[in-house]
Amino acid sequence: MTVNRRGENLRDVFIYNTLTKKIEKLVPMHPGEVRMYVCGPTVYDVAHLGHARSEIIYDSFRRFLEYLGYRVIFVRNITDVDDKIINRAVEEGRPASEVSLQYTVEYFMDTLKLGIRPPTFNPRVTDHIPDIIAFVKKLMEKGYAYESHGDVYFSVRKYQGYGELSSQSLDKILAGARIEPGENKRDPLDFALWKAAKPREASWESPWGNGRPGWHIECSVMAMKYLGETLDIHAGGTELVFPHHENERAQSEALTGKRFVQIWMHHGLLNVGGEKMSKSLKNYVTVREVLNRFDADTLRFYILSTHYRSPLDYSEQSLEAAKKGLDRVRRILVRLGEGEGGESREADELETEVLNHLCNDFNTPRAIATLMDAANRILEDLNRNTISKSLLHRFSKLWRMLGFFQEGVERATQRERRLAEILVKLREEARASGDYELADTIRNELRKIGILVEDSKEGTIIYIL
């Protein structure tokens, strides 16, 4: 059992570690405090569902840790200088800084709509150039890096353990490595820490001439600045394991001589037709496109219904199914309310089972299945008029722990509610006159826009979903 700084017992959490290929107990460097870094976006376009999957998984994981009583320092970076940003700026004929600023703001707006809590720190690369230069200088002083024609490279062969994270030998990595035109590195395995300036590119002064950071150095510098030399968790997509996280680990441990990350946590790809969803393949669906048809809770339900380490295939049919499942939960909470706090055997058993699943490699599909089973029991209790207020309260609390229903369960505006009331009145008149076909048509049309009508002994009940 883990103990926090106040001496309180905390549940033990076990996570699959990409480095060791085992599920391991999370043992924070600072008792009761989890320091976590998640690789954020490169801001050259609007966010797609691949970004949404990352954001929702780690937002829910953070909320779960905090529910257990851990203090979480959560860092997500913004890469605002990169080849992709530069290329977009050239295409559009405007400064790269303007492109990155526009899409940084738009990314923040998209995460807000998804119900993502802001990180503890959200650093941008361009705000940390002096830190990056200092990091590179130290690597050179230690003999792990060298300058060549204004570029600075990391000497991969000098770091023992390169390839362990991605489970690759140096020979295998070397077979796929090459020196690109314009590169001046000594070994195809080496990677850039600093890149000499090219015409019309953003650049900064450095001891090696004007230039800009390499991709991998940015995350190492920002992670250490805000979380220290050893992180509890470093997270991101499986596509980042190599070369990005492999290189991060190498340069960071070369600098400090310490273990850089306790647990490397990676989520699976979001696929379309069996291929990774990406902008380069032009097969992506933007967050905004999905949120025009489905609400953020439905998207969260869809994403968390698959284990974070498994690939997830995108389909609108799956989103429709997620909506139907979540609407059952919403109907319960709209009709019965949040319940009342308090202890009961049923409530305690539900919470224990859900938390057990989440503590075991953050198994959200099993946790959600448990909550859906509880929804069925609550509906059965409703029919028997034996609702447990404490079970209902815990049921609602556990959904909110994972980030659902942040804005409440009813989404209708006053205008929509008034419209629903008018149509329900017309439906009642149709039923009274024997026009059941019209009554059914009204009910079906209301259902299409998320308004459910239920007939009861007390009269017609309206549920706004």
Question: Domain check: are 216 and 311 in the same one?
Answer: no
Question: Domain check: are 251 and 311 in the same one?
Answer: no
**Whether the Cβ atoms of residue 123 and residue 77 lie closer than 8 Å to each other:** yes
Phi/psi of residue 181, each to 5°?
-55, 130
Question: Domain check: are 304 and 190 in the same one?
Answer: no
As beta bridge partners, residue 3 has 9
Secondary structure letter of residue 306 according to DSSP: S
The verdict on pTM exceeding 0.85 is: yes
- What is the C-alpha separation between 395 and 273, in angstroms, rounded? 36
Phi/psi of residue 376, each to 5°?
-65, -40
Q: What residues contact residue 189 under an 8 Å CB cut-off, 6+ apart? A: 156, 157, 162, 170, 173, 174, 177
Q: Does residue 82 belong to any structural domain of this protein?
A: yes
DSSP 66-92: HHHT-EEEEEE-BB-SSHHHHHHHHHH
- What is the C-alpha separation between 289 and 360, in angstroms, rounded? 34
- What is the C-alpha separation between 26 and 258, in angstroms, rounded? 18
Q: What residues contact residue 299 under an 8 Å CB cut-off, 6+ apart? A: 52, 56, 114, 290, 291, 319, 322
Question: For residue 352, what pLDDT is reported?
Answer: 96
What CATH number did the domain enclosing 258 receive?
Answer: 3.40.50.620
- What is the C-alpha separation between 131 and 138, in angstroms, rounded? 11
Burial label for 369, CB within 10 Å (0-12, 13-18, 19+), is middle
Q: Does residue 278 belong to any structural domain of this protein?
A: no
Residue ranges making up the domain that contains 351: 287-401
Question: Domain check: are 313 and 373 in the same one?
Answer: yes
Q: Does residue 282 belong to any structural domain of this protein?
A: no
Q: Does residue 304 belong to any structural domain of this protein?
A: yes
Burial label for 78, CB within 10 Å (0-12, 13-18, 19+), is buried
Question: Domain check: are 362 and 445 in the same one?
Answer: no
Which one of 214, 235, 267 terminates a domain?
Answer: 267
Question: Domain check: are 95 and 159 in the same one?
Answer: yes
Which one of 206, 232, 267 terminates a domain?
Answer: 267
Question: Domain check: are 172 and 62 in the same one?
Answer: yes
Secondary structure letter of residue 449 according to DSSP: T
Question: For residue 336, what pLDDT is reported?
Answer: 76
**Whether the Cβ atoms of residue 110 and residue 288 lie closer than 8 Å to each other:** yes
pLDDT in tens, the chain (465 residues): 565 555 567 899 999 999 999 999 999 999 999 999 999 999 999 999 999 999 999 999 999 999 999 999 999 999 999 989 999 999 999 999 999 999 999 999 999 899 999 999 999 999 999 999 999 999 999 999 999 999 999 999 999 999 999 999 999 999 888 888 778 899 999 999 999 998 888 899 999 999 999 999 999 999 999 999 999 999 999 999 999 999 999 999 999 999 999 999 999 999 887 777 776 666 788 999 999 999 999 999 999 999 999 999 998 999 999 999 998 898 888 777 776 777 889 999 999 999 999 999 999 999 999 999 999 988 888 767 777 888 999 999 999 999 999 876 655 555 556 767 777 777 887 788 787 888 888 887 777 666 777 777 667 777 665
Q: Does residue 154 belong to any structural domain of this protein?
A: yes
Structurally, how many domains does the chain consist of? Answer: 3
Phi/psi of residue 155, each to 5°?
-85, 100
Encoded tokens for 143: 């003999």
Q: Does residue 375 belong to any structural domain of this protein?
A: yes
Question: Domain check: are 303 and 378 in the same one?
Answer: yes
Question: Domain check: are 64 and 191 in the same one?
Answer: yes
Question: For residue 387, what pLDDT is reported?
Answer: 78
Q: Does residue 392 belong to any structural domain of this protein?
A: yes
Which one of 365, 380, 401 terminates a domain?
Answer: 401
Question: Domain check: are 301 and 249 in the same one?
Answer: no
**Whether the Cβ atoms of residue 32 and residue 3 lie closer than 8 Å to each other:** yes
Angle at 109 (CA atoms; ends 106, 110), nearest 5 degrees:
90
What CATH number did the domain enclosing 355 receive?
Answer: 1.10.730.10
Q: Does residue 35 belong to any structural domain of this protein?
A: yes
- What is the C-alpha separation between 234 and 192, in angstroms, rounded? 21
Question: Domain check: are 320 and 457 in the same one?
Answer: no
Question: Domain check: are 255 and 145 in the same one?
Answer: yes
